[in-house]
C-alpha cells in the first residue's frame, strides 16, 4: 500500500444568512441545491488535480465526486473534502453518503429523482431519505410540474421556515421543486418494503402527465435505492387501485377536469 500522501480538508462554512430567505434562521437543502452546479464543477476541477498529483485514480473520479456531493447535501453544507487517496480508500465511503440519480420516462419528458444510494434509519443523522424531484423535456430543459406523493409507510418531512427545521408532513403531500425527506421505520424481517406513488401534473393547467412507483429494497436494517425500483411499468390491476392516502388512480386523474 502506498504511504499516506496528503490531506486537504476544506471546511464549507456557509453563512447562515447567505441564501436563506428573509426571516429563515438556517440554510436548508434547497439553498444548497442552488449552489450544487458550481460546487460540482469545483469538485470536477479538484478531482482532475488529484489525478494529476497521483492522489486519485482516474477511474475513481466519479465515485469520489458523488461521495462528496452526498456529504455536502446530507450534512447541511458543513462537510470535509478528503484528498488523501490510496488503493481501496473508496471502500470506506458509506452508500448512505453517496448521491444517486434515478430517471423514469413519461410521454412528455423524463422525471428525475436525486436521492441517496442507501438509507439506514437507525444511523441516519438527517430527517430521512433525501428526495429532490424534477422533470426535463427531451432537450434537457426543465418542465414546470407538480408531484403528488403518497407512501405505504413512513412520514414525509418538509422545510418549515418559521421553525427553521424540517417538520412532519404526513403520509402524502404536494411538491413543486422543493427538497423533502422520507423517514421510514427500521425494517423488520418478512415485511414488505415501503412504496411511494408519484402522480405528475402540469402546473399551468393541472393536466395529468403520468404516474411513477418508487419502491425501496430492504437489506437487514437498511433500505437500498436502485433504478430498478423507480419506474412507470406497473400492472394494470395495480394502476386501477386507489390508495388509502387519497391520491387519485390513473383513470381518475385522466378524467380530472382542468382548473
Residue ranges per structural domain of the chain: 29-93, 97-255
Asked whether the predicted pLDDT for residue 163 surpasses 70, the reply is: yes
> In the prediction, which pLDDT does 244 show?
43
- Contacting residues for 257 by C-beta, under 8 A, at least 6 apart: none
CB 101 within 8 A of CB 121: no
Q: Which helix (H) or strand (E) holds 132?
A: strand 129-136
Tens of pLDDT, residues 178-208:
889 999 999 887 778 899 999 999 999 999 9
Q: Please count the other Cβ atoms lying within 10 Å of the Cβ belonging to residue 255.
A: 10
What pLDDT shows up at residue 87? 55
**How many percent of the chain have pLDDT more than 70?**
67
The chain-wide mean pLDDT, for the chain, equals 75
Assigned C-alpha cell, 67: 461521495
pLDDT tens track for 83-138: 555 556 666 666 656 778 999 999 999 999 999 888 888 876 667 898 999 999 99
User: Each residue of 21-46: b (16+ CB within 10 Å) or e?
Assistant: eeebeebbbebbbebbeebbeebeeb
Query: Tell me, what's the pLDDT at 107?
Result: 92
Amino acid at each position: 500500500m502506498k504511504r499516506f500522501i496528503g490531506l486537504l480538508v476544506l471546511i464549507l462554512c456557509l453563512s447562515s444568512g447567505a441564501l436563506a430567505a428573509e426571516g429563515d434562521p438556517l440554510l436548508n437543502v434547497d439553498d444548497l441545491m442552488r449552489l450544487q452546479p458550481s460546487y460540482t464543477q469545483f469538485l470536477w476541477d479538484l478531482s482532475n488535480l488529484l489525478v494529476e498529483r497521483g492522489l486519485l485514480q482516474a477511474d475513481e473520479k466519479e465515485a469520489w465526486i458523488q461521495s462528496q456531493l452526498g456529504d455536502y447535501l446530507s450534512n447541511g453544507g458543513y462537510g470535509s473534502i478528503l484528498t488523501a487517496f490510496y488503493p481501496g480508500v473508496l471502500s470506506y465511503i458509506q452508500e448512505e453518503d453517496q448521491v444517486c440519480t434515478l430517471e423514469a420516462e413519461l410521454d412528455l419528458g423524463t422525471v428525475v429523482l436525486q436521492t441517496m444510494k442507501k438509507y439506514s434509519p437507525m444511523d441516519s443523522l438527517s430527517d430521512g431519505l433525501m428526495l429532490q424531484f424534477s422533470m426535463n423535456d427531451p432537450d434537457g430543459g426543465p418542465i414546470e410540474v407538480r408531484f403528488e406523493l403518497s407512501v405505504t409507510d413512513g412520514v414525509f418531512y418538509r422545510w418549515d421556515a418559521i421553525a427553521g427545521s424540517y417538520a412532519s408532513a404526513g403520509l402524502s403531500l404536494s411538491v413543486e421543486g422543493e427538497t423533502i425527506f422520507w423517514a421510514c421505520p427500521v425494517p423488520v424481517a418478512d415485511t414488505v418494503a415501503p412504496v411511494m406513488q408519484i402522480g405528475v401534473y402540469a402546473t399551468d393547467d393541472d393536466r395529468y402527465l403520468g404516474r411513477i412507483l418508487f419502491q425501496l429494497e430492504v437489506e437487514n436494517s437498511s433500505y437500498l435505492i436502485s433504478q430498478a425500483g423507480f419506474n412507470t411499468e406497473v400492472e394494470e390491476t395495480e394502476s386501477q387501485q386507489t390508495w388509502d392516502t387519497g391520491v387519485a388512480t390513473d383513470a381518475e386523474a385522466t378524467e380530472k377536469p382542468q382548473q
